[in-house]
Amino acid sequence: MSDTLIRQLMMLRRIPRHPRRITVQILPSYLADQGYEVTDRTVQRDLLTLSGRLFGLSLDDRSRPHGWCWDRDAAQLDIPGMEPQTALGFKLAEHFAGQLMAPSTLNTLGPYFRQAEQVLNETPGPVRAWPEKVQTISRGQSLIPPLIDQAILQTVYEGLFNDCQITARYERRYDGAVQDYIISPLGIVFRDGVVYLVCQRKGRDEVIHLAMHRFVNAQPTDTPIQRPQGFELANYVREGGLDFRLSDTALDLVLKVDAETAVHLEETPLSTNQSIARSADGRQTIRARVADTAQIRWWIMGLGDNVEVIEPSALRTEIQARLERAVGQSH
């Protein structure tokens, strides 16, 4: 392989994808570090030649110094070419992890996703069919996710990535009022199709979560966030931070459930201290300490006649009243 070809390949790998760009004046220095002494004129001539042949390169001459970039939709330069297993990885990432990525990240990865699609279409055998053999579902009734403004989502992701505050207008759920906030973003959580921003508001210490689809507007700032000492997103979620807490007092649940529900709870317990014992009536008695949340009530009512609340007595009365209202009865 000639030195000219090697030099040109190195240069092509250094050029960013649109909208970023690199000037001709920077490339000679980079090539010199790789052992290739060339002038600005040589680099410019090479780029003009390559852009007119095989490669999707663009010259941005709207301002000086002029800059070069790969076209947004240009094929990814990969030597050697993408292997089928690598293509499968990109395909699965696009399908299952796409919602975890910022819109700008998805745009950057777009050429890889398209190349992966092409490689899989040209690859016979089980690798090509694998994406059709994997699916994920959520528990409970499937709901259509709310729409989120992509510009707002991008602003939030940039704030998270850069650890900077954002300013936002937010429509509160309980009264529809629109509030202006200065927010320190701490993390993103996906739950049953809804995207939540875990954050702090300026002047308040409490960590809260805000539904992304209720943001009316969002703008970035350069102000660094002050992350709460010891805060970890995983702990926040594990400790019920996204639940709608009704009190700070835990519930000591005693439930009677059918055999099928008992097996399910044995495999996926309500809490670390859960216990299961057989009752005289053939049902299973479940004991567990859980947070006092709206979610635990929704879960219990969703089990219908497969569960009976024994304790706390106040919760038993509350669930009974809710079920009676649901069928239009009164006592």
Determine the average pLDDT of the residues in 242-264: 87
Using CA atoms, how far apart are residues 177 and 194, in angstroms rounded to an integer?
20
Is residue 207 within 8 A of residue 226, CB to CB? The reply is: no
Q: Assess whether pLDDT exceeds 60 at residue 1.
A: no
Question: Could you tell me the CA-to-CA distances from 290 to 39, 251, 320 in Å, in that order?
Answer: 70, 5, 20
Q: What is the mean pLDDT of the chain?
A: 84
**Max Cα-Cα span within the chain:** 91
Question: What pLDDT is attached to residue 130?
Answer: 72
Handedness of CA 91, 138, 187, 170 (dihedral sign): positive
**Could you tell me the pLDDT band of residue 79, with boundaries at 50, 70 and 90?**
very low
Q: What CATH number labels 150-238?
A: 2.30.30
Parallel, antiparallel or unpaired: strands 22-23 and 215-224: unpaired
Alpha-carbon gap, residue 276 to 182, rounded angstroms: 47
The confidence score (pLDDT) of residue 136 equals 67
pLDDT for 17 beyond 90: no
Supply the pTM of this predicted model.
0.61
172: left (phi over 0), alpha (psi -120 to 50) or beta: beta
Listed residue (212, 213, 191, 195) closest to 138, CA to CA: 191
- Chain segment 36-48, per-residue pLDDT in tens: 888 888 888 888 8
275 SS3 class: strand
Start-end ranges of CATH 3.30.70 in the chain? 251-326
Q: Comparing 171-175, 196-200, 308-312, 315-319, which segment has the lowest mean pLDDT?
A: 171-175
Token pair of 319, please?
């669930």
Q: How far apart are CA 234 and CA 327, in angstroms?
A: 39
Domain with CATH 1.10.10 in the chain: 3-70
Q: Which stretch, 42-51, 134-143, 178-187, 293-302, has highest mean pLDDT?
A: 178-187
CATH number of 3-70: 1.10.10
| Confidence check: pLDDT of 160 > 60 | yes
The CATH 2.30.30 portion of the chain extends over 150-238
| More confident site: 131 or 223 | 223
Residue 98 gets which letter from DSSP?
G
- Asked whether residue 276 carries a pLDDT value surpassing 90, the answer given is yes
8 A C-beta contact, residue 303 and residue 261: yes
Contact 171, 212 (CB under 8 A): no
Instruction: Label residue 80 by pLDDT band (50, 70, 90).
Output: low
pLDDT at 295: 85
Reported as a single tens digit per residue, the pLDDT across 198-212 is 999 998 999 999 999
Greatest mean pLDDT among 65-69, 111-115, 152-156, 277-281: 152-156
Show the tokens assigned to 170.
């937010």
When mean pLDDT is compared over 7-16, 129-138, 195-204, the highest value belongs to 195-204
22 has which bridge partners?
68
Give 214's pLDDT tier (boundaries 50, 70, 90). very high
Q: How far is CA 19 from CA 22, 53, 119, in A?
A: 10, 21, 26
Contacts of 222 (CB under 8 A, 6+ apart): 164
What integer pLDDT is reported at residue 82 of this predicted model? 72
* Residue 239 DSSP SS3: coil
What is the secondary structure of 188-231 as a DSSP string? EEEETTEEEEEEEETT----EEEEGGGEEEEEEEEEEP-PPTT-
Candidate CATH numbers 1.20.1070, 1.10.3470, 2.40.128, 3.30.70; the one for domain 251-326: 3.30.70
